[in-house]
């Protein structure tokens, strides 16, 4: 029996189901259930919430989420080898846990969820960033989720909460802070994972704002910041040339000096530029 439920410890689960970690799937497992319960607590009050978990693996974070009182957890896992281990969790929490075997980048799990919905995940870095951007850039706001609690490489977590003028400031900071309150809530050394990754990790918690901090069209803002930070050392009048032939006029109308570099431009100013471009 484990520290938080009546199921076997995770090392035993991994040995029983022969879940050797696969690098191709970004598998670095969390095996300490006290730690996964601590991460689950960062997701806020889970009672009365459906939780969407991406990449449950052998189920450490899943068990944390269920032990912390989630009404229901729906997980999307690509690796079918994990399904028997996850079935044992479903059996221990009848009616509270379901798994979809598939790629989270391909599947839309919304039809299987009932609001309020929180999202929690310990995912490979590239999948996590791609999903984060998708969750932050739907056309309409508020989104289907209330909060996101996501593990990232420490460096990526810092990019999400970065402020203008810093090296980490860029597209992720702008998209995250435009529509959410984002903060780093936990730092984890490589040794917290099995096998240990090369770098440190951090959990970022984002609460969706009822409305974006400043009005802007999501697609235009996304395109502008992606283009501006792609050539972050260039002046905006030159890095954004491809966005509009009259970019200098739009920058001036948004109150941004055309000679400014992306790194120095506030979220508010980028939103003003997106509004100017929408008028054109
Ligand atoms: N959540 C578990 C934990 O904390 O121990 C496993 C974390 S491991 C870093 C990432 C998990 O995501 C693996 O189980 C992997 O198979 C799964 N995964 C990787 N790519 C995925 C994808 N595109 N869609 C769904 N799951 C994916």
The string of pLDDT tens digits covering residues 151-178 is 999 999 999 999 999 999 999 999 999 9
Q: Which residues form the pocket of ligand 1, taking CB atoms under 6 Å from any ligand atom?
A: 25-30, 54-57, 60-61, 76-79, 82, 103-105, 122-124, 127
* Contact present, 22 and 51 (Cβ < 8 Å): no
Of all helices (H) and strands (E), which one includes residue 248?
helix 247-253
Tokens of 27: 């598998």
Pocket residue to mutate for ligand 1, from 10, 11, 25, most atoms within 8 A of Cβ: 25
What CA–CA distance (Å, rounded) separates 92 from 66?
10
The predicted model scores a pTM of 0.97
Ligand 1: nearest atom to the Cα of 29: 5
State the Cα torsion 140-142-145-147 to the nearest 10°: 130
Kindly report the number of other CB atoms within 10 A of residue 242's CB atom: 11
| CA–CA dist 212, 218 (Å, integer) | 10
Length of the chain: 280
Q: What is the pLDDT of residues 9-39, one digit of tens each?
A: 999 999 999 999 999 999 999 999 999 999 9
Give SS3 for 115. coil
Q: In a 10 Å sphere around its CB, with 0-12 CB exposed, 13-18 middle and 19+ buried, how is residue 73 labelled?
A: buried
Question: Tokens 């890095």 sit at which residue?
Answer: 239
The torsion angle over the Cα atoms of residues 268, 273, 276 and 280, rounded to 10 degrees, is -150
């Amino acid at each position: 029996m484990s520290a938080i439920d009546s199921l076997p410890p995770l090392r035993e689960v991994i040995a029983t189901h022969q879940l050797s970690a696969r690098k191709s799937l970004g598998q670095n497992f969390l095996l300490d259930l006290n730690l996964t319960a601590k991460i689950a607590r960062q997701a806020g009050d889970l009672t009365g919430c459906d939780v969407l978990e991406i990449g449950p693996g052998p189920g450490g974070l899943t068990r944390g989420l269920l032990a912390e009182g989630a009404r229901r957890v729906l997980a999307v896992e690509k690796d079918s080898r994990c399904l028997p281990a996850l079935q044992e969790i479903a059996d221990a929490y009848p009616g509270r846990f379901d798994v979809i075997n598939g790629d989270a980048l391909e599947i839309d799990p919304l039809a299987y969820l009932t609001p309020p919905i929180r999202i929690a995940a310990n995912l490979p870095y590239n999948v996590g960033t791609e999903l984060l951007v998708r969750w932050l850039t739907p056309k309409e706001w508020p989104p289907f989720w209330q909060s996101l609690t996501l593990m990232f490489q420490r460096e990526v977590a810092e990019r999400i909460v970065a402020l203008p003028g810093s090296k980490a400031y860029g597209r992720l900071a702008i998209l995250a802070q435009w529509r959410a309150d984002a903060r780093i809530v936990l730092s984890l050394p490589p040794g917290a994972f099995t096998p240990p990754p090369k770098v440190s990790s951090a959990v970022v918690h984002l609460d969706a704002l009822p409305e974006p901090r400043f009005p802007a069209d999501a697609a235009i803002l996304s395109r502008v910041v992606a283009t501006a930070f792609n050539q972050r050392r260039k002046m905006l009048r030159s890095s954004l040339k491809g966005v509009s032939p009259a970019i200098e006029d739009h920058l001036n109308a948004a109150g941004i000096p055309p000679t400014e570099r992306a790194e120095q431009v506030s979220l508010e100013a980028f939103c003003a530029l997106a509004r100017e471009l929408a008028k054109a």
